[in-house]
Amino acid sequence: MKPFAELDIVQLQQAHPECGLPTGAVRTVVLVYRQGEAYEVEFVRLDGSTQAVLTLPAAEVAAPTAQAVRQAA
């Protein structure tokens, strides 16, 4: 699979309850590490404030489903 690029939308494959993020949360890649071995992903609230910025291994993110993108909008 082709690595994600900065500003791509990704979906969490596992929850991060310490940040209030469920499995399936959808947000934006802000930095790519080592040609896609890991990604820094920013999660924002509806008011535009940052909820979390996480560095995640590639196995924890995937291309989002169409339904997930619609729900996140």
CB-based contact 43:50 (threshold 8 Å): yes
Non-local CB neighbours of 18 within 8 Å, separated by 6+ positions: none
pTM recorded for the entire structure: 0.88
Q: How confident is the model over 4-58, as pLDDT tens digits? A: 999 999 999 999 999 999 999 999 999 999 999 999 999 999 899 999 999 999 9
Q: Using only C-alpha atoms, what is the Rg of the chain?
A: 11
Strand 9-12 and strand 61-62: the pairing is antiparallel
Q: Looking at this protein, which amino acid is placed at residue 66?
A: A
